[in-house]
Structure 1
């Protein structure tokens, strides 16, 4: 496993980071989830990413139990705040001071730790003054409950505003967590250059485009039972990636992966790690053996000819419009 600095900080994280969105507390049994976490540790992953909203706080609880007994100083534990949790009351969401302060305490209790290494704004809150949000984050850092602060799915302009305020308040934003993959490159034109300028790096989610880049979804065939796309609760969010043109283009990647000596998932993960502004690729797992395959993407350097062949294979099915970050963000709180 190789490690990279997170933003303009001294914090090093594993370039393949274990994330438990959609798995812990929901899709897989707790024993399997714990086995996946231990497989990640066994293969050199030291960084773990979760959020209070995942399985309505259960994912944090499962991760905390799975990491019990590990040397805390050897781990980097990340979580997030914004989306509704608990009963979803009027103040159980957003980035108000009230919700942030209550959420960090709940997350620390569930994760069984005194602090998180990175606390992230899971989305931008249009209904709370940014000054209020940044002041709350500053106070959490000063209280030692979080060592660093990051954001997720913020636009370049929102990142710029957040960085300016954080500097005034005596701390800095060091990371952005956006969706990024061969098929979804909307951060490249604005978010990445702005982040590089301001000292943030990316922790990217869905590097395998929610599993589509694994090649397991075939053109003209219904998703196999037991896959994410076949799950009615989550498959509906994959519509952009399950079109015939996309599935046909993805199959063209198979010989490219073979020529590179990689599996399809390894190629997808290695591809995002070629971007100098990416500190880590988030991977999840429903089986320990998936971790064993994914970690082999660490340290892989793709030849420029391979990168060109990937672009040619995917052609115009790649989504690149930077406006999609704002367009897909919540315009107001859910509750």
Structure 2
């Protein structure tokens, strides 16, 4: 396993990590989570991503129960959670980053995870109705209290992130150090263009998600939505238009030819392409089966196969 610093922070994350979105509770229970996390940990994965609203809190409960069964030394792994969407309908508990919600949110997440602290907390989306200064102070306090060690943002604009950094610097507070954003072969502009200055001038870290574009880049949606796949799950109807987009499928078919020429799977090439970017701290993968984890982890050895000539072919396939 390769380990990368989370931006300019001292903490190191495995280049490939494991997330619980969609899978935990929706597709797998505690025993299967133990198997999946163990398979990832055994090959060096040290970061496991979660969020308060994943499966309405059940994802955190499953991960917490799995960790208890696994009994790993706490210093050997990293856990995250995120706040914004909420799991209750009250006016101050949903789609917000106000101080009350954030502090109650971390307390409730720690109860569900059955942990004293998490390593990373994220503001899961920007909140246009709460002053950024209020949010920065609350996140700083959570870190000061030892309930989290680092904080960051998720799907914030570069301008919003820079505003948060500047407020923290002005008041000598703990700054956000990482962004969790979507990054894959089909979704690149925000990461490569909008965030360019964040990486260069601020040394911002990046824990990227959806490296396979919700499965589209695996090729399994080329002929429609298979039964039992993510696109077939109740509650994920919003994904179906994206997974059946003909322009995307056309690009995937071209990319599959390149992957076949390298002797690797489409998934492995897509993951390796993300890892090729030096601004990526870790690529968050998802898996409902242990076999998928084993396949995904092989992407680390594929990076070296992405020579300048291969990268040029990939660009041509995407144009």
Q: TM-score normalised by the shorter chain: which range applies? A: over 0.9
CA deviation digits over 1:148-173, x for unaligned, max 9? 11100000100110111122232121
Counterpart selection for 1:226 from 216, 228, 233: 228
Distance in structure 1 (CA, Å) of the matches to 2:112 and 2:103:
15
Residue 56 of structure 1 corresponds to: 56
Matched position secondary structure for 2:150: strand
Distance in structure 1 (CA, Å) of the matches to 2:266 and 2:134:
44
Give the C-alpha shift of residue 261 in structure 1.
3.1
Residue 158 of structure 1 corresponds to: 160
Give the C-alpha shift of residue 310 in structure 1.
1.0
Distance in structure 2 (CA, Å) of the matches to 1:248 and 1:292:
27
Distance in structure 1 (CA, Å) of the matches to 2:185 and 2:103:
37
Give the C-alpha shift of residue 276 in structure 1.
1.2
Q: Taking structure 2 as the reference length, what is the TM-score of the superposition? A: 0.94
Distance in structure 2 (CA, Å) of the matches to 1:186 and 1:88:
34
Residue 202 of structure 1 corresponds to: 206
Give the C-alpha shift of residue 107 in structure 1.
1.1
CA deviation digits over 1:25-72, x for unaligned, max 9? 222233222211111112211101100000111101111111121111
- Work out whether residues 138 and 169 of structure 1, in 8 Å CA contact, stay in contact via their aligned partners in 2: no
- Work out whether residues 30 and 65 of structure 2, in 8 Å CA contact, stay in contact via their aligned partners in 1: no
Residue 4 of structure 1 corresponds to: 4
Residue 138 of structure 1 corresponds to: 140
- Work out whether residues 118 and 147 of structure 1, in 8 Å CA contact, stay in contact via their aligned partners in 2: yes
Distance in structure 2 (CA, Å) of the matches to 1:77 and 1:166:
24
Distance in structure 2 (CA, Å) of the matches to 1:204 and 1:124:
17
- Work out whether residues 16 and 295 of structure 1, in 8 Å CA contact, stay in contact via their aligned partners in 2: yes
Residue 246 of structure 2 is aligned to residue 244 of structure 1: yes
Residue 211 of structure 1 corresponds to: 215
- Could you say which structure has the greater relative contact order, defined with CA pairs below 8 angstroms and 6 or more residues apart? 1
CA deviation digits over 1:192-219, x for unaligned, max 9? 332332121211110000001111112x
Residue 90 of structure 1 corresponds to: 91
Alignment of 1:1-335 (within 5 A): 1-68=1-68, 69-85=71-87, 87-93=88-94, 94-167=96-169, 168-187=171-190, 188-218=192-222, 221-298=223-300, 300-301=303-304, 302-315=306-319
Unaligned segments of structure 1, at least 5 residues: 316-335
- CA RMSD in angstroms comes to 1.4
Q: What is the number of residues matched between the two proteins?
A: 312
- Which consecutive aligned stretches of 4+ in structure 1 deviate over 3 angstroms post-superposition? none
Q: Higher helix fraction: Structure 1 or Structure 2?
A: 2
Q: Taking structure 1 as the reference length, what is the TM-score of the superposition? A: 0.90
Distance in structure 2 (CA, Å) of the matches to 1:133 and 1:169:
15
- Work out whether residues 224 and 244 of structure 2, in 8 Å CA contact, stay in contact via their aligned partners in 1: no
Give the C-alpha shift of residue 238 in structure 1.
4.3
- Work out whether residues 80 and 119 of structure 1, in 8 Å CA contact, stay in contact via their aligned partners in 2: yes
Distance in structure 1 (CA, Å) of the matches to 2:244 and 2:224:
10
Higher mean alpha-carbon deviation, 196-205 vs 5-14, is at 196-205
Give the C-alpha shift of residue 241 in structure 1.
4.2
Distance in structure 2 (CA, Å) of the matches to 1:88 and 1:154:
23
